Amino acid sequence: MSLPSKFPKTFKFATATAAYQIEGATRLDGRGISTWDEIRAEPGRIHDNSPADLSCEGRLKYKEDVDLLARIGVTSYRFSISWSRILPDGTLSKINEDGVQFYRDLCLLLRDNGIEPIVTLFHFDMPLAIYDNGTSWLNRENCDHFAAFANLCFERFGDLVKTWITFNEINMHAWSSVVKIEGELWLCPDRPQVENHSHAPYIAATNMLLTHAKIYQDYNKNFKEQQNGVVGITMGGRFCFPASDSSEDIAAANRANDWLFNYTIEPILSESGDFPVSMREKLPFLPKFSEEEKKLIRDSADFIGINYYLSHMVRNISDGEVPTSQHERDASYAFVEGKWDKICGETWVRYAPDGLHELLKYVKQKYNNIPVFITENGCMDLIGDDEKKEEEDVLEDKHRIKYIAGHLEALAKALEEGCNVIGYTVWTLMDNFEWDDGFAVKFGICRVDFDSPDKTRTMKHSAKYYQTFIREFKKHHNIL
């Protein structure tokens, strides 16, 4: 039995992008200023020092990109809607109809090509005016503005979009994109530190969870019956294994899973409607939910998305030890180098399909086998590939094919064991702006020639592998 035939007929095979990473055209359509426009304007913030206006130009080339998606054969395409392109200042004071029309045109074109649009409402880029209104998610008023934006999207796109994701990786965003935290990634505008900034990630994540729940309940109340869609939320999935069989390391791994995964999903999927017990024990300042808020949050997801790139080995920390990052210090654990292959060279990604398999079994057991969509999985080009003189050398990404194939095998195994996996998404469709790394790190299954005025797209061998895989899957189920 071939690997493609092990997936059920309803399984979604997708690829994905995020609005800020591919769209460009930052002044087109009356789009407002984003936090990332501000970050790129700050000297030294982007590691490759690339020009602030460099882009894939996906806003202008969306027809070509949909054609590329159709050639690859994906059943679904996950993309995000830029809050700034729809609401220039982040509020309903001005609705940018040109921006609305762009996303409608994109969804219609996807539909005409037999590709399901899967929309993420928040994928790391926020209107700058909203960020500066009380430091993003630390201000509940900003949460209300985002809920209003979500409702507007349901109104304007809900006839075309049936799968919605409210937030991409609340935990990651809370730690890196709200305030500057020592030892964490710095992915927010340079602003004076807020009071009690070490508490900020926990406050921001709490506010985002409550906002997600409000959006979910609003959809069910006002749109579900007519539009018949589903609403989920995407988590970062980095499964943590104990570095040894000692009870101390096992407990540390459990705490690490609480901080890195359960923190932003347990309030939604547990009967308690609350954060993990280990976090309550260690963080007396952790925001408390009222009974009304617990009721709002509990069961507020039709599915969960998981972005999976690696797993971790962790150990308990010794007395007096001070780990690098705040979340390690808060949770009393430390990362150690694991057993997994550095498949892309000296980068943070690891080839750990066994970790994905274990994570899916963990979700099945802990969270009543809720439907899981793998909303991102992929790896970057090998370090140094950009310096190769022959384009064919860059396109021949055998390591990425190994990475994708290994994780598809892990999914097939999980499905055989009864895990409720409904889809898989390769990150990403094309080389693009990789946040603070700029364009130096390339995750695309399609190459973009950034030196060309046309920003020419070319399928790498991994895209052709995925194309063949999906074709065999469709042939097996007679859905070509």
Residues with a catalytic annotation lie at 169, 376
The whole-angstrom separation of Cα 208 and Cα 87 is 19
Instruction: Give the C-alpha separation, 232 to 259, whole Å.
Output: 20
Torsion from C-alpha of 188, 193, 194, 200, nearest 10 degrees: 50
Bridge partners, 457 (sequence order): 448
CB of 305 closer than 8 Å to CB of 375? yes
3-class secondary structure, 446: strand
Peptide bond into 264 cis (omega under 30): no
Q: What is the dihedral of CA 4, 6, 8, 13, to 10 degrees?
A: -30
State the alpha helices, DSSP H only, in 265-331: 266-269, 277-282, 291-297, 326-331
308: enclosing H helix or E strand: strand 303-308
Phi, psi for residue 315 in degrees, rounded to 5: -135, 165
DSSP letter (8 states) at residue 234: E
- Residue 75 contacts residue 111 (beta carbons within 8 Å): no
| Angle in degrees, 0-180, between the axes of helices 200-222 and 140-157, rounded to the nearest 10 | 30
